[in-house]
Structure 1
Amino acid sequence: MSEERLGNRPSGRRRSSELPGTLLGCLLLLEKSGGLPAEHLLEATEQRLEASALPVTLKQSGRQRLRNARVYLERQDLRGVLVEIGYFRRSLVRVRTLPA
Structure 2
Amino acid sequence: MPYFVYILASRRHGTLYVGVTNDVVRRTAEHKAKEARGFTKRYGVDRLVWWLEFGQVDEAIAFEKKLKRWRREWKINLIERENPDWSDLYPALAAP
TM-score (norm 2): 0.31
Structure having the larger proportion of residues in strand: 2
